[in-house]
Amino acid sequence: MAKHKHEQKKWDALKGVLGQQPHLEVRSPAAQRLLSTCNGARSVGECVRAESQLGSQAWQLSLEHPLGNRCPKCQRPHRRGHHLGNESRPGSFCAPRLAHDCCTKGAGFESRSSPFPGTSPRPPEPQGSSPCLPAGRSSRSFPSVGKARRLLTLFPLCTRCLGCESPRLIQEANLGPTIWLGDTRSPGQWPAGVLAADLRSRSGARSALVSFPTTLETAPGRIQQVSRTQTSPSEVSRFESGPTAPFPFPLGSLLCEGFPFGPKGARAALRHRGRPDAAPSPTRSPGQPLPTGQTRPSREPAGTAASGTWRPPGPWDQLRLPPWLVPLHYELELWPRLRPNESWASTLTFTGRVNITVRCTVATARLLLHSLFLDCERAEVRGPLPSGAEDRTVGRVPVDDVWFASDMQYMVLELGGTLQPGSRYELQLSFSSLVYQDLREGLFFNVYTDQGERRALLASQMEPTFARSVFPCFDEPALKATFNITIIHHPSYVALSNMPKLGQSTKRDVNGSMWTITTFSTTPPMPTYLVAFAICDYDHVDRTERGKQIRIWARKDAITNGNADFALNITGPIFSFLEDLFNISYPLPKTDIIALPTFDNSAMENWGLLIFDESLLLMQPNDQVTDKKAVISFILSHEIGHQWFGNLVTMNWWNDIWLKEGFASYFEFGVINYFNPEFPRNEIFFSNILHNVLSEDHALVSRAVSLKVENFTETSEINELFDLFTYNKGASLARMLSSFLNENLFISALKSYLKTFSYSNAEQDDLWRHFQMVIDDQNKILLPATVKSIMDSWTHQSGFPVITLNVSTGVIKQEPFYLGKVKNETLLTHNDTWIIPILWIKNGTTQSLVWLDKSSKIFPEMKVSASDHDWVILNLNVTGYYRVNYDQLGWKKLNQQLEKDPKGIPVIHRLQLIDDAFSLSKNNYIEIETALDLTKYLAEEDEIIVWYAVLVNLITKDLVFDVNSYDMYPLLKKYLLKRLISIWNMYSTVIRENMATLQDDYLALVALEKLFETACWLGLEDCLQLSRELFKNWANHPENEIPSPIKSVILCYGIALGSDEEWDFLLNMYANKTKEEERIQLAYAMSCSKNPWILNRYMEYAITASPFTFNETNIIEVVAASEVGRYIAKDFLVNNWQAVSKRYGTQSLVTLMYIIGRTISTDLQITELQQFFSNMLEEHQRLTVHAKLQTIKNKNLENKMRNARMTAWLRKNT
């Protein structure tokens, strides 16, 4: 059994957690099957295979990380204190109080009284003290919501009533192992003994803890015993199924008897916090029809009714809605309780009503629609509706039950009658929920400062699947409908939505406060993810373009200062250009664009109400030396492009999201090129888009841009599609398609596609059919296969090919590009062959398009002679999505041409040659010497974007921080400075004299920072002196800002070359800055000091009270990112390990591994660190770190070999 040791531990954990708790009963069929299989298994392997077949990440967590019995902070054992583990730190979180009181200081946790016998309970805390669940610490508030560590470290046991916040006597009760661990939405519902036993979840800890709780039920005998002997009768007078748990729990651990929301469960109480006037809801027997206006219990786990009844598998277990109903129209009313001049909490409440007109397609007595984090107050179904005007006197279909299947985020209505196919019905639903601060999904609010006052606004983000958290709906992109939207808001605010305001009225609430009711015109048919609202106290600027109003809304300060003027001036012309290009007018009567103080999604294309982060929309009118104009132009072009790609024509489902994101990204460049014909379109596309995605798109670690619908099993997988491949690879493939057709045919096909599918949905194959129709109608362009066959080879496969040309024989072969040229046959998911269009040039002349439609092919015309003037470059303008390799003679010919006449090769291809060569050498396709040979000509290179490509490929972090490269540094310095001085002199003169001349040179603004950084790193005295001058001038006159393209470098070298005085100045500037991006820039600059005492003082902030608002562990990381600081950071972390690990837990280990990767090079250093870790870390942490050390050791060996060859080459060529 030795080789099955890990599996044996999992099996033992299974028995220990489930088999030895007689008071718990397994209710889930999946759990029963697994337990039965494992108990009867003939081997551990059978049990493990059974578990893997059920595919439960949550179950794996509970098996792999059973309860421990030591405090993770001080390592003291608990006699009865159970620990709940997670994926990173098994058995390390103390359930009674998360950690000993001695270990919680400074960690952000309140001490918790132990509910276990044998420990000393603390006195009850006074009523009215701070709640046990910190305000705003919802698991939804963090980007890593799927991580168990975030949940378990942020949400300790709640021993307070969620209603009145008074401490409960449960802390003195002996409940044995039945301890309840909660989170902010479902507090007190999770037995500490088991993380999750519902085996269908694969979405990680958040789903396990929120959507799929344990299906273990306290047996009746246990309930009676607890009730009789351990808790007062008033505390356990009611038992109920929790809001998301199919087992009863004692109310004493959740709610006081005196709090009026007992029957509704913990989450309902949490939602009603701050609403003491709310009345209790009547109870209802299971199966009894839901009376009008009654509040339902909150969400239930998948397959579980509100009454706690187990449901058999059904359509609620599927990711896609069943095709029973088609939504036609929504009447939506929302009432967020946002008031001005309040001390806004981390959450606000909102209520709403929605009437959805649907058409029935299949006879059904059950309705499914999406709902997430909503409490259903009322549910009615009316119909069938007459075919003419709506008649409110129509019949009613009884609603027998409403329950929630939270696995796939459904609300299920069980009807007392059957809906008939072909008939229309109206679903009438009332609901309530929370608005979270700074969540930026669903409905959220921002708190900000404007004109010296603290204010708040509310906005929405529905894409991709967050509309269901705002109102019950059919939340799939193909289910388009029209919307009539009504917003109830405070009179001092303005309400915005997709359509123009239709009218306003007022209403008075129960407290006598007046509210404004704003109604909006009916929208065109659109998916739920485009529904948008905003409630704000903003001002705006406006203009009219072709009779349609365009308004940009922003903080009043920003509007007054003219920060929105540039965006306003270009928005209208962008709309007009795209209207003319596609020959389809923008269909809405207005466009509002709102700038939020913070918006994690950057920008969103909601029809008629575009939402931006203000940093991507606003700019100072007098800030001429910045790339802000280009950035704003790109993003506005992208979001306006979505008004056609995505809004007018929507993908049928999220598997083809690239149809909107890829084409919107591609047309960013067409728009900007139209307004500025001199715009270097190919070079910027290569630098911004193609280089980035080719660097990440490796066949074994990436994904295809178009996926099969059946590959999706969870909602969380949809969110993962908004990545580099969808945007950048999608844009690159659209560009390649345009290149081998031609721009006219490309636009003609898109016009036909957009016209045909307006206000409807399309799939990828629909697009290919329209391209094929255009191809078939002409005879100039011949393709080797259909458009579908060609493009499917690119959209259905991950990765990209590298093609290799032998210039002596004319043979081209293709193969998938792999990291390190390492191929793993077991991981391949594609056929390794693409249909590749090859545009090419020979001796500077463009040649005819050829196709590589098999693994290899001969093209005699590509052979070159022995003449020095004969050379070939494949992939004209780098429009193909692949890399190009040549045989040794081919690279030699290109190098000779560069040294003889670099201008004879276009700029885009000088970029391409550098980028391809260094990428191929890094991954063992060619020798490093071949790539280095291409840099010999650089003394004659005056294009800064080419220098940028050289520097980002050559001066990498691996090179800068590799201790094995020190003997190479003087050679590299001499070699590069000899070639770099000319381009440096050109741009340093511009910086000193008039940098405003670069305001329209986007390539220079992008590349200048890297040039400046490298020149200073190489010790160029003029660069260091210029850094001193600019830093000193800014320190003496802070109102004179350093030009943004070089500000980070100037700040860093100003500190590196300065003393304590400069460092203290930057610290004071940090304290006075309000914008987070500025504060982070200053924080990073402070790590550039070369004085050890300053860096140690800086890192002390990571374990003491800190003025820094970003994660303080970043302080240690940024210090470690400097050449001097990396050793100091390692020593600091080792010497202060207990304090750092106590405060930051697992994150400190992540930081440590980040640092040691930059500081060790010898086997002796690795041995010393292994000895240190053996004494300081737990066993599972030691295994993780030792694996990291082995990786570092292997990388060091690889770097030594690479650096030795580079050093030899530099000696020969310097």
Give every CB contact of residue 817 below 8 A, 6+ residues apart in sequence: 698, 699, 799, 800, 801, 802, 882, 883, 923
Closest CA to 774 of 749, 737, 811: 749
Cα gap 229→4, rounded to integer Å: 44
**Which member of 727, 881, 987, 1098 is catalytic?**
727
- What is the side-by-side strand order in the sheet with 801-806? 856-858, 811-816, 801-806, 883-886
Long-range Cβ pairs for the range 711-717 (8 Å, 24+): 711/655, 712/319, 712/654, 712/655, 713/202, 713/319, 714/201, 714/202, 714/203, 714/207, 714/319, 714/408, 715/203, 715/319, 715/408, 715/409, 715/465, 716/146, 716/203, 716/204, 716/207
Let me know: does 803 contact 874? Beta carbons within 8 Å: yes
Cα gap 15→401, rounded to integer Å: 37
Between β-strands 424-437 and 442-450, what pairing exists: parallel, antiparallel or unpaired?
Answer: parallel
**Given phi > 0 = left and psi -120 to 50 = alpha, else beta, which region is 688?**
alpha
Distance, first Cα to last Cα, the chain: 60
Q: Is the sign of the CA dihedral 801, 806, 807, 809 positive or negative?
A: negative
φ, ψ at 453 (rounded to 5°): -115, 150
DSSP 497: E
Give every CB contact of residue 143 below 8 A, 6+ residues apart in sequence: 600
Residue with tokens 């993810």: 529
Q: Which two tokens stand for residue 1166?
A: 């690795």
Cα gap 90→65, rounded to integer Å: 4
Residue with tokens 């470290």: 153
Give every CB contact of residue 484 below 8 A, 6+ residues apart in sequence: 329, 330, 331, 332, 519, 520, 522, 523
Closest CA to 298 of 389, 206, 399, 403: 403
Query: How much is the CA Rg of the chain, to the nearest whole Å?
Result: 32
- Concerning whether 727 is annotated as a catalytic residue, the answer is yes
β-strand partners of 25: 217
Q: Which two tokens stand for residue 598?
A: 């913070």
CA distances from 526 to 53, 498, 588 (A): 39, 11, 12
Closest CA to 1141 of 285, 143, 153: 153
φ, ψ at 28 (rounded to 5°): -70, 130
- Concerning whether 639 is annotated as a catalytic residue, the answer is yes
**Which member of 639, 941, 943, 1117 is catalytic?**
639
Closest CA to 381 of 322, 423, 333, 320: 423
Give every CB contact of residue 49 below 8 A, 6+ residues apart in sequence: none
Cα gap 613→593, rounded to integer Å: 11
| CB burial of residue 262 (10 Å; 0-12, 13-18, 19+) | buried
Other CB atoms within 10 Å distance of the CB of residue 1180 = 16
DSSP H helical ranges for 195-290: 205-206, 220-225, 266-271
Residue with tokens 């098994």: 90
Give every CB contact of residue 859 below 8 A, 6+ residues apart in sequence: 810, 811, 812, 850
Closest CA to 307 of 282, 283, 278: 283
β-strand partners of 595: 612
Task: Report, as residue numbers or ranges, the catalytic residues.
Answer: 639, 727
